[in-house]
């Protein structure tokens, strides 16, 4: 074997060793991750019940009661007794824990804004319900089913309560042909740029979590479009459609924003994902309404968007 | 390709040393060549194996038989012995002529005489495809040819423009099919990469979509479209078949996917993962192969759907015996690629003859064709732009000899000759 061949073999051997190590390195992260790590002990012993009221210190923390006072609301009943019998240990009245669940569902908070966290609200409702036995399986089946339904409805209800579009002052102009054409052309440009982004760039084969930036960008895109459309001068006859467009774009902005916040509010993001298909449905209805109005008004529009709508309107 | 041909040549050098059996040398060479060619069709799939792979004798691109597409009397024989039979004859002739010119002791020309004799026999006894057992009622077809470049993203203006042209051509197709008096039904075919249904779903909801197809034509029209669709968590290249009056009547997920175009083969993905992990994130998601049948029934006819690279495979096209072959192509990735397109045309002609069926091809960024069961191009688009190509075809339920036996006879024959030749290799140590 010549010297050159020996050198070549040594080089190939080194390359092979490096390749094997690099290959194994890929799986290092996987190897080190244990899916079933045992729970780590807390640094302090909070399992003890310092005030001997039937609630451990950890539970006192959850119920927001005083861990050194056995009767936080001073109504003569121990905190533990009140929780066990379904009463609120913080209120001296006969306020039952189940009431909290109903509060979450139908009442509080009265004003819900876009940053309202539905996942947290749902989690609170669930825990309240479990402590009140409303959501504890096997205790009262009818109440359990009712509680689960109420929680689900509350999540969806709260979601739609976040969807209220802000009130915007619109600059209304006359119904002359020119102002109508100007308005329709401007809407078409915005719709083409922001709403009909063909083809869909989101990777439907990938998880939401890996595409949060896409949804965030899309949300910003809709927010800008909302501003643009809100600034348009609207012919009086187009006011109703204008409001529908604004509402549609605002809700699109919100839903993409919610999906991009998947990590902080998973429930809201999931409902928003489902809502996207509804929005898509609404978009086609909206475009058809615009097309029908253009036809009724007999407006001469030379725009690819409306040409396509004409081709699709083959009935 | 060169590797396998070279290996076959190298191996055959051994055969050339067979003493006293000159007549056998071209046979041994042709057998070796055919077996090497057959193995090559597996090899491409193996070397570019990936998430979307299926392994089999599919990748016949570059087969010497395709060079002879214009010689009718040779093309016609593929309905008997397929491309490997033609490869065999070609290799036999070339080997024989080469020996005749290079070796003094190889003067017996009779060894080549059986080749023209057998071709003559085959052509004499082969039935004329156009005269037998074809449906009397012809079926009108409209091929919608598009010119959409393959890009990662399109501006909305580009998307709308492409969509508008497709709608206009579909309207034209509908007019043609409606005006055709001989049939109450017709087929409009969009190419691979058309994604018409994806675009329609942006503008139309379920009810409007139903109305759109319903109003498209008075007659019943089958619209064949291709979309990318995530099914069961995996991305699929899906052909959708929409009956204008009945809605979706079937789908077919492409089986033979193109490495590099539809999935990243391991040979590229693994080194990238090892040495440049970030590159993996920029790879496009893999498309996964389907497993269902590519035979769809319409108007009492069985339509064999073939998507782009699947046309390379005689077995995928020939399985289950359709009454006509509908091929959807996309040359957008190659910006037309005339060389590739000419190979695809040759393959379309061979597949038509092998199965004795009309082969109709709708292309994106390439020409569309209507090829009759004799492999003759009856009609073709004028260029590679947006165009509507219309015509009529006669579906055929007959099966060819090749449909029954496939490539096995010629492979078996080649194996026998090859085995015999190996036995005859002289032992160097003894000599």
- Domain that residue B40 falls in: 2-129+405-423
Residues of B in contact with A196 (CB under 8 A): 156, 159-160, 202
- Partner B contacted by A197 (CB < 8 A): yes
Report chain A's mean pLDDT, rounded to a whole number: 76
E strand or H helix at B327: strand B324-330
- Partner A contacted by B180 (CB < 8 A): no
Q: Are residues B124 and B166 in the same domain?
A: no
Q: Are residues B95 and B174 in the same domain?
A: no
pLDDT greater at residue B132 or residue B57: B57
Q: Report CA Rg, chain A.
A: 30
Residue B81 has pLDDT above 70, yes or no: yes
Q: Are residues B205 and B323 in the same domain?
A: yes
Q: Is A164 exposed, middle or buried (0-12, 13-18, 19+ CB in 10 A)?
A: middle
Q: How high is the pLDDT of residue B346?
A: 94
Residue A14 has pLDDT above 80, yes or no: no
Is B284 among the domain residues? no
Tell which of A192, A205, A277, A286 to mutate to test the B interface (max B CBs under 10 Å): A205
User: Residue A77 half-sphere exposure, CB side, CA atoms within 13 Å?
Assistant: 16
Residues of A in contact with B235 (CB under 8 A): 204-205
Which percentage of chain B shows pLDDT scores above 70?
A: 87
Neighbour count for residue A217 (Cβ, 10 Å): 14
Lowest mean pLDDT among A289-298, B321-330, B364-373: A289-298
B152, closest residue in chain A (CA to CA): A201
Residues of A in contact with B332 (CB under 8 A): none
Q: Decide the pairing of beta strands B387-393 and B139-145.
A: antiparallel
Q: Are residues B370 and B410 in the same domain?
A: no
**What's the total number of domains in chain B?**
2
Is B393 among the domain residues? yes
Q: Are residues B59 and B85 in the same domain?
A: yes
DSSP string, B200-252: HHHH--HHHHHHHHHHH-SSEEEEEEEEEEEETTEEEEEEEEEETTTEEEEEE
Q: How high is the pLDDT of residue A27?
A: 43
Mean pLDDT, residues A28-47 taken together: 42
Is B428 among the domain residues? no
CB-closest option in B153, B195, B234 to A205: B234
Mean pLDDT, residues B39-61 taken together: 88
Bridge partners, B324 (sequence order): B303
Q: Are residues B175 and B315 in the same domain?
A: yes
Residues of A in contact with B274 (CB under 8 A): 19, 22-23, 26
Which percentage of chain B shows pLDDT scores above 90?
A: 36
Residue B79 has pLDDT above 80, yes or no: yes
Residues of B in contact with A311 (CB under 8 A): 164, 167-168, 171
We report the CATH number of the domain holding residue B321 as 3.60.110.10
Domain boundaries, chain A: 57-161, 171-312
Residue B132 has pLDDT above 70, yes or no: no
The count of CB pairs under 8 A between chains A and B is: 84
Lowest mean pLDDT among A222-231, B117-126, B283-292, B298-307: B117-126
HEC-encoded secondary structure of A90-122: CCCCCCEHHHHHHHHHHCCCCCCCCCCCHHHHH
Q: How high is the pLDDT of residue A162?
A: 86
Lowest mean pLDDT among A190-194, A260-264, B361-365: A190-194
Q: Are residues B92 and B154 in the same domain?
A: no
Residues of B in contact with A206 (CB under 8 A): 285
Residue A35 has pLDDT above 50, yes or no: no
Q: What gap in Å lies between CA B55 and CA B49, rounded to an integer? A: 8
Q: How high is the pLDDT of residue B166?
A: 94
Q: Are residues B186 and B303 in the same domain?
A: yes
Tell which of A202, A277, A311, A315 to mutate to test the B interface (max B CBs under 10 Å): A311
Q: Are residues B318 and B241 in the same domain?
A: yes
Q: Are residues B213 and B314 in the same domain?
A: yes
CB-closest option in A22, A201, A281 to B153: A201
- The pTM of this model reads 0.73
- The beta-strand segments (E) located in chain A are 171-173, 233-235
Q: How high is the pLDDT of residue B133?
A: 58
Is B83 among the domain residues? yes
pLDDT category of residue A240 using cuts at 50, 70 and 90: very high
Q: How high is the pLDDT of residue B163?
A: 92
Is B281 among the domain residues? no
pLDDT digits (tens, 9 = 90+) for A103-114: 544 444 567 788
Taking CA atoms, B195 is separated from B191, B202, B229, in Å, by 9, 12, 10
Residue A147 has pLDDT above 50, yes or no: yes
Q: Are A202 and B165 in contact (CB under 8 A)?
A: no
E strand or H helix at B380: strand B377-380
Tell which of B208, B229, B272, B287 to mutate to test the A interface (max A CBs under 10 Å): B208
Q: Are residues B92 and B143 in the same domain?
A: no
- Partner B contacted by A13 (CB < 8 A): no
pLDDT digits (tens, 9 = 90+) for B291-313: 888 898 888 889 999 998 999 99
pLDDT greater at residue B410 or residue B107: B410
Q: Are residues B28 and B110 in the same domain?
A: yes
């Amino acid at each position: 074997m010549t010297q050159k061949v020996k050198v070549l073999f040594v080089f190939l051997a080194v390359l092979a060793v490096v390749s094997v190590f690099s290959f194994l390195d890929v799986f290092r992260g996987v190897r080190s991750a244990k899916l079933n790590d045992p729970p780590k002990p807390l640094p302090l012993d909070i399992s003890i019940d310092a005030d001997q009221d039937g609630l451990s210190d950890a539970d006192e923390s959850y119920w927001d009661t005083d861990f050194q006072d056995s009767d936080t609301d001073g109504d003569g009943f121990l905190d533990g007794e009140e929780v066990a019998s379904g009463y609120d240990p913080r209120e001296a009245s006969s306020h039952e824990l189940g009431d909290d669940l109903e509060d979450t569902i139908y009442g509080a908070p009265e004003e819900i804004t876009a940053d309202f966290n539905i996942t947290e609200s749902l989690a609170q409702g669930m825990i309240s319900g479990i402590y009140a036995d409303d959501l504890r399986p096997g205790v009262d089946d009818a109440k359990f089913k009712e509680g689960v339904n109420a929680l689900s409805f509350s999540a969806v209800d709260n979601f739609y309560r976040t969807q209220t579009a802000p009130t915007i002052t619109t600059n209304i102009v006359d119904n002359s042909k020119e102002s109508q054409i100007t308005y329709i052309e401007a809407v078409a440009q915005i719709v083409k740029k922001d709403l009909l982004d063909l083809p869909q760039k989101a990777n439907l084969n990938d998880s939401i979590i890996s595409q949060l930036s896409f949804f965030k960008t899309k949300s910003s895109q809709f927010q800008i479009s909302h501003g643009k459309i809100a600034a348009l001068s609207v012919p009086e006859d187009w006011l109703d459609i204008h409001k529908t467009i604004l509402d549609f774009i605002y809700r699109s902005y919100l839903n993409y924003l919610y999906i991009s916040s998947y990590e902080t509010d998973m429930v809201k993001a999931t409902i928003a994902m489902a809502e996207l298909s509804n929005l898509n449905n609404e978009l086609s209805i909206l475009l058809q309404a615009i097309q029908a109005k253009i036809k009724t008004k007999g407006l001469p529009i030379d725009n690819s968007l409306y040409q396509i709508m004409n081709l699709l309107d083959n009935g | 390709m060169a590797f396998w041909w070279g290996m076959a040549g190298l191996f055959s050098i051994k055969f050339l040393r067979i003493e006293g059996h000159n007549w056998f040398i071209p046979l041994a060479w042709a057998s070796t060549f055919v077996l090497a060619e057959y193995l090559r069709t597996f090899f491409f799939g193996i070397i570019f194996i990936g998430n979307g792979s299926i392994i089999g004798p599919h990748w016949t691109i570059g087969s010497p038989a395709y060079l002879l597409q214009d010689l009718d009397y040779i093309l016609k024989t593929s309905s008997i012995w397929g491309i490997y039979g033609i490869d065999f004859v070609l290799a036999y002739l070339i080997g024989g002529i080469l020996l005749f010119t290079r070796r003094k002791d190889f003067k017996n020309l009779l060894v080549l005489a059986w080749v023209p004799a057998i071709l003559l026999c085959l052509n004499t006894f082969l039935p004329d495809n156009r005269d037998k057992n074809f449906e009397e009622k012809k079926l009108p077809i409209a091929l919608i040819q598009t010119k959409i470049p393959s890009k990662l993203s399109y501006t909305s203006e580009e998307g709308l423009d492409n969509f508008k042209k497709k709608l206009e051509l579909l309207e034209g197709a509908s007019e043609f099919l409606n005006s055709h008096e001989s049939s109450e039904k017709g087929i409009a075919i969009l190419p691979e990469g058309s994604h018409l249904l994806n675009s329609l779903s942006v503008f139309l909801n379920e009810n409007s979509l139903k109305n759109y197809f319903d109003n498209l034509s008075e007659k019943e029209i089958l619209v064949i479209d291709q979309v990318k669709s995530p099914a069961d968590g995996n991305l699929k290249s899906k052909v959708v078949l929409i009956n204008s009056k009945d809605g979706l009547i079937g789908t077919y997920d492409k089986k033979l996917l193109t490495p590099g175009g539809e999935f990243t083969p391991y040979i590229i993905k693994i080194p990238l993962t090892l040495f440049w992990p970030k590159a993996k994130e920029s790879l496009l998601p893999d498309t996964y192969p389907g497993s269902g049948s590519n035979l769809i029934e319409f108007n009492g006819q069985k339509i064999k759907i073939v998507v782009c690279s699947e046309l390379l495979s005689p077995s995928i096209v020939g399985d289950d015996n359709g009454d006509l072959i509908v091929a959807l192509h996309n040359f957008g990735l190659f910006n037309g690629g005339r060389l590739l397109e000419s190979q695809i045309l040759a393959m379309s002609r061979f597949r038509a003859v092998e199965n004795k069926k009309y082969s109709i091809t709708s292309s994106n960024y390439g020409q569309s064709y209507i090829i009759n069961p004799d492999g003759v191009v009856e009609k073709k688009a004028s260029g590679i732009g947006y165009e509507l190509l219309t015509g009529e075809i006669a579906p055929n339920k007959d099966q060819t000899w090749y449909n029954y036996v496939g490539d096995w006879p010629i492979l078996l024959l080649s194996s026998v000759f090859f085995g015999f030749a190996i036995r005859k290799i002289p032992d160097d140590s003894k000599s």
